[in-house]
Amino acid sequence: MRPLKTLKKLYDDESHIIITEKGSPPRVMFYGEDFWVEDLPVGTRVICARPPLEGVPNVKAAIRYAINHPEGMDPLHALLEPGMKVTVALDDISLPLPPMKTPDVRQQVLEIVLELLADSGVDDVHLVIANALHRRMTEAEMKRMVGETIFDAFYPDRYYNHDAEDPDGIVELERTSHDEVVAINRRAAESDLVIYVNINLVPMDGGHKSVGTGLTNYESLRAHHNAKTIRDTESYMEPSKSQLHRSTERIGRVIDQSVKVFHIETTINNRMFEEPVGFLMKKEEDFTEFDRLKLQSFKYALSKLPRPLKRKMFFNIYAPYEVTGVFAGATEPTHQKTLEQSWKQYSVPVQGQSDIVIFGMPYVSPYNVNSILNPLLVQVMALGYLYNLNRGVPLVKKGGVIIFTHPCYDEFDPEHHAPYIEFFNRLLPETRDAMKLEHKYEREFAKNPSYVHLYRKGHAYHGAHPFYMWYWGENGRQHVGKVIAAGAENNHVPAIMGWDRTDTLSEAIEEARGFMGRGASISFVKIPPILQTDVRL
């Protein structure tokens, strides 16, 4: 039975744009691990997300239906033969954000798929986390993702993280027509069937990007994770306008010729928070007295806590996402269905760009789950993700200003982000030129034995990863005229990044108006919940 709460609409479909007036309530926005409550200038366009789509009433039924009625392939049961070798690849902890409440949808998919495999006489099954050059997931994280029963049955010999640096663990296939290296996990390459279980949080994910990116190595990623490709990508979220996706598609098609891949893609709604922080899902106009009380209580509690405890607290808030669709089958037709469903949830039509765009910067990004949003990740959130949450046309005008709210503390997690520390302290003071950084230093970091060791044996991101973070911000950097870090608690982090800083949001808006003119248009993107602007010019 569908719980009653899922039937409740938080607000109307059509009221996702609010123009601030005199007397409009102040807006709640993330300021790292804190909240700011700020009055915005009259005339500011506040862009709110669509309300969460209703979840499917029975997730397991939806999964069964999808694998029995796949797109462009035979049903999964018809692909199975006794004795065959199967690899099930899974999206890693970077998806979804915040991490979802248990049972994770990956667990639900696995419970059905593994039972089907066992019933079909398929015993040689490995579960591989498609973490590419991301950090290895910890044992506890792996257990949480698939549930205790599956974990106990498969971990550690048959449930493990992909190792992009295992010299014996990668197989190179033929190159693409553009001479791009195609390399994938040996176990996957040598399997009779690969089943990829995906969670699609935003349209950037899934499709050919799943196997071709998640199960590959540094040499293959270089084909598209580079400064030029990113500069030539108009939007990460609109695959048809993405040079990045064109490259992953070419690579994916080569993989599909060599390996039989059955995709199971899932979409979730944007229900990112619930009580006691359910107010984050509401427009301020809809706040009750109790919501305001909770907000003030949270703000007070956060003001008394040290930052590590605040982080701990936020990372213990799991998202009550609901599954809105399950699609299965061949890569491209399956992903097409996924994208359609994804846009239904996230797309917010907006008329025209803005001179100034304001984002509240949350505590989490895809690369710091259970860790610190370090300066490089603040950069990738501002110029990589938040800037790119659009369907081909950026919300901010060319030469415009992005303002984000974050303390920009100079803190790094040495366990997760060891190479970031050197990148930030040694390379960025020398140059911020992505091309130069790539040419001069990327390979040195990627091959650094210490960083490779920390990636393979510890829980660190690969030595090449801080470069990817910098490239990810590249088209944002090329597009905007100024970035202002409102509330940055020091001068040197914004200075190294090439940003301005102010103490308050009002000062940041004043500075931005000074740059763009007094009549500059302002948009505030109210995230959470997540949304993507569909800008019409």
Partner 1 sequence: MTHEPRAESPSTTAPRLGKAAFFDVDGTLISTNVVHAYGYYALNEGSYLGIARRGLTTLANLPLFGVLNLVDRKIFNEYFYRQYEGLTEDRLLTLNQDLFDDVIKPAIFPRAQDLIDQARRAGCRVVLVTGALDFTMSPLARHLGADDLIANRMQFVGGRATGKVIPPIIEGANKADVIRDYCEKHGISLGKSFAYSDSASDYAMLTAVGRPTAVNPDLRLRALARSYNWPVLDLR
Least distance to partner 1, CB of residue 269, Å: 41
Out of 34, 165, 205, 442, the only residue in the binding site for partner 1 (CB under 8 A) is: 165
Q: Is 454 in the site for partner 1 (CB under 8 A)?
A: yes
Least distance to partner 1, CB of residue 379, Å: 18
Nearer to partner 1, 11 or 160 (CB): 160
Least distance to partner 1, CB of residue 218, Å: 12
Nearer to partner 1, 2 or 426 (CB): 426
Q: Is 169 in the site for partner 1 (CB under 8 A)?
A: no
Least distance to partner 1, CB of residue 166, Å: 10
Nearer to partner 1, 23 or 167 (CB): 167
| 8 Å CB contact between 239 and 336 | no
| 8 Å CB contact between 150 and 231 | no
Q: Is 398 in the site for partner 1 (CB under 8 A)?
A: no
Out of 178, 436, 440, 457, the only residue in the binding site for partner 1 (CB under 8 A) is: 457
Q: Is 296 in the site for partner 1 (CB under 8 A)?
A: no
- What are residue 19's DSSP bridge partners? 45
Distance CA 495, CA 491 (A): 6
Q: Is 456 in the site for partner 1 (CB under 8 A)?
A: yes
Nearer to partner 1, 327 or 451 (CB): 451
Least distance to partner 1, CB of residue 309, Å: 21
Least distance to partner 1, CB of residue 377, Å: 17
Q: Is 160 in the site for partner 1 (CB under 8 A)?
A: no
Nearer to partner 1, 316 or 450 (CB): 450
Q: Is 258 in the site for partner 1 (CB under 8 A)?
A: no
Burial of 306 (0-12, 13-18, 19+ CB in 10 A): exposed
The three-state secondary structure class of 303 is helix
Q: Is 178 in the site for partner 1 (CB under 8 A)?
A: no
Least distance to partner 1, CB of residue 165, Å: 8
Least distance to partner 1, CB of residue 210, Å: 28
Nearer to partner 1, 384 or 466 (CB): 466
Q: Cα-Cα-Cα-Cα dihedral of 227, 233, 234, 239, to 10°?
A: -150
Helix ranges restricted to H, 347-464: 375-379, 418-422, 434-437, 443-447, 449-457
What distances in angstroms separate CA 349 from CA 52, 402, 533, one per listed residue? 16, 20, 6
Out of 151, 363, 451, 524, the only residue in the binding site for partner 1 (CB under 8 A) is: 451
Residues of span 411-450 touching partner 1 by CB under 8 A: 414, 418-419, 421-422, 425, 444, 447-450
Nearest to 127 by CA among 101, 146, 147, 108: 146
Out of 458, 482, 489, 506, the only residue in the binding site for partner 1 (CB under 8 A) is: 458
Give the H/E segment covering residue 409.
none
The three-state secondary structure class of 218 is helix
Q: How many CB atoms lie within 10 A of CB 55?
A: 21
Nearer to partner 1, 133 or 522 (CB): 133
Least distance to partner 1, CB of residue 410, Å: 11
Distance CA 269, CA 52 (A): 5
Distance CA 148, CA 151 (A): 5
Q: Any residues with CB less than 8 A from the CB of 242 and at least 6 apart, and which?
A: 233, 234, 235, 236
Least distance to partner 1, CB of residue 113, Å: 33
Q: How many CB atoms lie within 10 A of CB 410?
A: 14
Least distance to partner 1, CB of residue 501, Å: 23
Cis ω before 362 (30° cut-off from 0) = no
- Site map 310..339 versus partner 1, x via CB under 8 A: ------------------------------
Nearer to partner 1, 175 or 456 (CB): 456
Least distance to partner 1, CB of residue 221, Å: 18
Q: Is 453 in the site for partner 1 (CB under 8 A)?
A: yes
Distance CA 156, CA 252 (A): 28
| CA atoms in the 13 A half-sphere facing the CB of 9 | 9
The 10 Å CB-count burial string (b at 16+, else e) for 329-353 is bbbbebbebbbebbbebbbbebeeb
Nearer to partner 1, 134 or 337 (CB): 134
Q: Which two tokens stand for residue 344?
A: 């239904």
Q: Is 401 in the site for partner 1 (CB under 8 A)?
A: no
Nearer to partner 1, 161 or 176 (CB): 161
Nearest to 196 by CA among 126, 105, 112, 263: 263
Q: Is 167 in the site for partner 1 (CB under 8 A)?
A: yes
Q: Any residues with CB less than 8 A from the CB of 271 and at least 6 apart, and which?
A: 52, 281, 319, 320, 321, 322, 529
Nearer to partner 1, 411 or 534 (CB): 411
Least distance to partner 1, CB of residue 319, Å: 33
Through-space distance between the first and last CA atoms of the chain, rounded to whole angstroms: 44
Distance CA 82, CA 115 (A): 13
Query: DSSP assignment, residue 222?
Result: T
Size of the site for partner 1 (CB under 8 A): 20
Q: Under the rule (CB under 8 A), what is the footprint of partner 1?
A: 165, 167, 414, 418-419, 421-422, 425, 444, 447-454, 456-458
